[in-house]
Amino acid sequence: MKRAQEEPLCHHCANVVSTIFTKLTPDEVEYINDRKRCSRYEKGLIMYEEGGRTNGFYCICSGIVKVYKTGVEGKEQIIRFAKKGDIIGYRSIISGEPACTSAKILEEAVICFIYTPDLYNLLKKNAEFGIELLQLACTELGEANNYITDIAQKSVRERLAEVLVSLKQNFGLDDDNILQIYLTREELANLIGTATESVIRLLSEFKQDKLIELQGRKIRIVDEKKLTRIANMM
Amino acid sequence: MKRAQEEPLCHHCANVVSTIFTKLTPDEVEYINDRKRCSRYEKGLIMYEEGGRTNGFYCICSGIVKVYKTGVEGKEQIIRFAKKGDIIGYRSIISGEPACTSAKILEEAVICFIYTPDLYNLLKKNAEFGIELLQLACTELGEANNYITDIAQKSVRERLAEVLVSLKQNFGLDDDNILQIYLTREELANLIGTATESVIRLLSEFKQDKLIELQGRKIRIVDEKKLTRIANMM
DNA sequence: CGTTTTGTTGAAACATTTCAAAATAGGTGG
DNA sequence: CCACCTATTTTGAAATGTTTCAACAAAACG
């Protein structure tokens, strides 16, 4: 069957044992497996846009997705980068509001789509599953509160150092200590809420101070400890 | 009985029909009613502190609570002001993390406390209730994302105008158009993430421009339309 | 190979913060 | 209820971090 190739089985998916889906019964996994749609998304594709409505949410099997808002005068504010195992787009279908963010593929991705009615069926049937999703939302809420405090109180320099450290924690380094996510200077700027030029200047300061090395968009983390200290991370 | 005076009945509580508790059955309302603890809290009292653990969450019957984080060098970042009908402190008991905020009484309050095990019992028994709480968390998450974008992209002037408008929306005006929440200049500053002096200067600019009038901590909203325009609120 | 996007640099402009000093308001104990 | 003490508010001036603008270099792309 063609479908079997396009649609990986949920039973074999690593996400099912490590994410909100852990509390599903085998039957429920089967249910999701039958109803989800899995697709490959090319770099640059926009999955959904702020202000719009979706009729489901996404579970990322591989790749990287940029989740962002468009602020005053069209300036992009990046909320997060989602990767393997992350769930996105659930917020708006739960709260019943239009999407408060847009999502764009940063690295070619394989992503499953689960329809709102199917999600609600599971939520109604399996309270434990609901609690899992609630936990996820609460964790994200805590992260958002931290982020608010950081942006409000820290300098651009501190925030850049912090972002480098937290990107390292989320996306890791390769054998050469190179950050496994490649962002433009502008994206870095839109993540920490500053001007592109400021990011460029501060990155080359960090380079001079031997905290990082730069090769185009590749960033080698040389001295994470000092970066952490600069970031004022507790 | 003394208790009857201290402990208002949940069945008569306006919060039970307007908040996450709407989906509870009469029996479950009874359950909560028997197990909650309701107390009066004096101005200035700290309900819980960032980094600590609580064994339950709070439902506000009256009064105002300041929810805030302590950032670098002890600077307070106000996350929100909670009032009648709001639920606070649920995030950490759900996510299983220590509290990410502190909560302090701003205006004398009557607040009910519900124990974690009782919450979990309801969540497990009544999936609809869980969905309500999930919706609340998702709505707050959307608000947090908006706030991040605002702080990152708007000027202090814009943010101050925005905060005045949104405080009006949340706490209302009296017959004299005076904002029904009284904050120090420092608290306003800690809400929008700026220096106290900046708030003072901008408030008196707004006053000169006939957008507001000031009498100590009382702020009269004179021209909400213009404030909204300055705030770049869409 | 030309065209567009991204990255870099310098200099000037700007918003905001910081520091200091004084005025005012608020609260408490005598 | 006054007097005192503390916290808050206000103002000015200087310092600072960051942005903006402009021009150019380099890389990516079709």
- CATH at residue B181: 1.10.10.10
A81 belongs to a structural domain: yes
Provide residues 173-232 of A with CB closer than 7 Å to any strand C atom.
Answer: 184-186, 196-197, 200-201, 203-204, 214, 216-217
Residue nearest the C1' of C15 (CA based): B155
Q: Which amino acid is at A149?
A: T
Q: Do A95 and B148 touch (CB under 8 A)?
A: no
- A17: confidence class by pLDDT, cuts 50, 70, 90: confident
User: Is strand C less than 7 A from the beta carbon of B220?
Assistant: no
- A125: confidence class by pLDDT, cuts 50, 70, 90: very high
- Of residues A92 and A233, the one with the higher pLDDT is A92
Mean pLDDT score, A58-70:
96
Q: Is residue B131 located within the same domain as residue B55?
A: yes
Q: Is residue B87 located within the same domain as residue B176?
A: no
Which range of residues forms the domain containing residue A184?
Answer: 151-230
pLDDT digits (tens, 9 = 90+) for B168-224: 999 999 999 999 999 999 999 999 999 999 999 999 999 999 999 999 999 999 999
Q: Distance from A205 to chain B by nearest Cα, in Å? A: 22
User: How high is the pLDDT of residue B6?
Assistant: 58
C-alpha closest to that of B84 among B102, B52, B109: B109
Evaluate the CA torsion angle A210, A212, A214, A220 in order and state its sign.
Answer: positive
Residue A136 has pLDDT above 50, yes or no: yes
What is the rounded distance in angstroms from the CA atom of residue A34 to the CA atom of residue A9? Answer: 9
Out of A96, A115, A138, a domain closes at A138
Residue B5 has pLDDT above 60, yes or no: no
| Average per-residue pLDDT for chain A | 93
- B1: confidence class by pLDDT, cuts 50, 70, 90: very low
Q: Do A123 and B123 touch (CB under 8 A)?
A: no
Mean pLDDT score, A177-182:
96
The total of other beta-carbon atoms located within 10 Å of residue A165's CB is 18
User: How high is the pLDDT of residue A97?
Assistant: 95
Q: Do A123 and B127 touch (CB under 8 A)?
A: yes
Residue nearest the C1' of C8 (CA based): A200
- φ/ψ region of A111 (left if φ > 0, alpha if ψ in -120 to 50, else beta) reads beta
Q: Is residue A50 located within the same domain as residue A108?
A: yes
Any idea which nucleotide's C1' is nearest the CA of B158? Answer: C15
For every residue of chain B, DSSP letters joined together read: -HHHHHS--GGG-HHHHHSGGGG--HHHHHHHHHH-EEEEE-TT-EEE-TT---SEEEEEEEEEEEEEEE-GGG-EEEEEEEETT-EESHHHHHHTSPPSSEEEEEEEEEEEEEEHHHHHHHHHH-HHHHHHHHHHHHHHHHHHHHHHHHHHHS-HHHHHHHHHHHHHHHH-B-TT-BBS----HHHHHHHHTS-HHHHHHHHHHHHHTTSEEEETTEEEES-HHHHHHHTT--
A145 belongs to a structural domain: no
- A141 contacts in B (CB within 8 Å)? 91, 95, 137, 140-141, 144
Q: What is the pTM of this model?
A: 0.93
Q: Which of A91, A135, A154 sits opposite B141 (nearest CB)?
A: A91
| Average per-residue pLDDT for chain B | 93
Q: Are A67 and A76 in contact (CB under 8 A)?
A: no
Q: Is residue B167 located within the same domain as residue B123?
A: no
Task: For chain B, give the number of residues.
Answer: 234
- B2: confidence class by pLDDT, cuts 50, 70, 90: very low
Mean pLDDT score, A46-53:
96
A146 belongs to a structural domain: no
Q: Distance from B41 to chain A by nearest Cα, in Å? A: 25
Q: Which amino acid is at A212?
A: I
- A16: confidence class by pLDDT, cuts 50, 70, 90: confident
Q: Is residue A157 located within the same domain as residue A200?
A: yes
Could you say which DSSP state residue A152 is in?
H
CA dihedral A13, A19, A24, A27 (to 10 degrees): -10
Q: Which of A135, A138, A234 to mutate to test the interface with B (most CBs of B within 10 A)?
A: A138
| Token representation of residue A214 | 């730069």
B102-115 and B37-41 as β-strands: parallel, antiparallel, unpaired? Answer: antiparallel
B145 belongs to a structural domain: no
Q: Do B141 and A140 touch (CB under 8 A)?
A: yes
User: How high is the pLDDT of residue A218?
Assistant: 96
pLDDT digits (tens, 9 = 90+) for B112-165: 999 999 999 999 999 999 999 999 999 999 999 999 999 999 999 999 999 999
User: Is strand C less than 7 A from the beta carbon of A153?
Assistant: no
What is the rounded distance in angstroms from the CA atom of residue B217 to the CA atom of residue A111? Answer: 52
Q: To which residue do tokens 């850049």 refer?
A: A160
User: How high is the pLDDT of residue A102?
Assistant: 96
Mean pLDDT score, A209-213:
96
Q: Are B164 and B219 in contact (CB under 8 A)?
A: yes
User: How high is the pLDDT of residue B110?
Assistant: 93
B143 belongs to a structural domain: no
Which residue of chain B has the CA closest to A189? B152
- B3: confidence class by pLDDT, cuts 50, 70, 90: very low
Out of B103, B138, B173, a domain closes at B138
Q: To which residue do tokens 């999930």 refer?
A: B134
**For chain A, what is the domain count?**
2
pLDDT digits (tens, 9 = 90+) for B40-55: 999 999 999 999 999 9
Q: Percentage of chain A with pLDDT > 70? A: 97
Q: Is residue A33 located within the same domain as residue A111?
A: yes
User: How high is the pLDDT of residue A73?
Assistant: 84
C-alpha closest to that of B31 among B129, B131, B137: B129
Mean pLDDT score, A53-58:
97
User: How high is the pLDDT of residue B101?
Assistant: 97
User: How many Å from the CA of B173 to C1' of D1?
Assistant: 34
User: How many Å from the CA of A233 to C1' of D28?
Assistant: 36
Q: Are B165 and B230 in contact (CB under 8 A)?
A: no
- A6: confidence class by pLDDT, cuts 50, 70, 90: low
User: How high is the pLDDT of residue B149?
Assistant: 97
What is the rounded distance in angstroms from the CA atom of residue B190 to the CA atom of residue B196? Answer: 8
pLDDT digits (tens, 9 = 90+) for A26-43: 999 999 999 999 999 999
pLDDT digits (tens, 9 = 90+) for B64-101: 999 999 988 889 999 999 999 999 999 999 999 999 99
Q: To which residue do tokens 């920490």 refer?
A: A192
User: How many Å from the CA of B221 to C1' of D1?
Assistant: 36
Q: Which nucleotides of C are covered by protein (CB under 7 A)?
A: 6-11, 15-20, 25-26
Q: Are B16 and B29 in contact (CB under 8 A)?
A: yes
Q: Is residue A72 located within the same domain as residue A188?
A: no
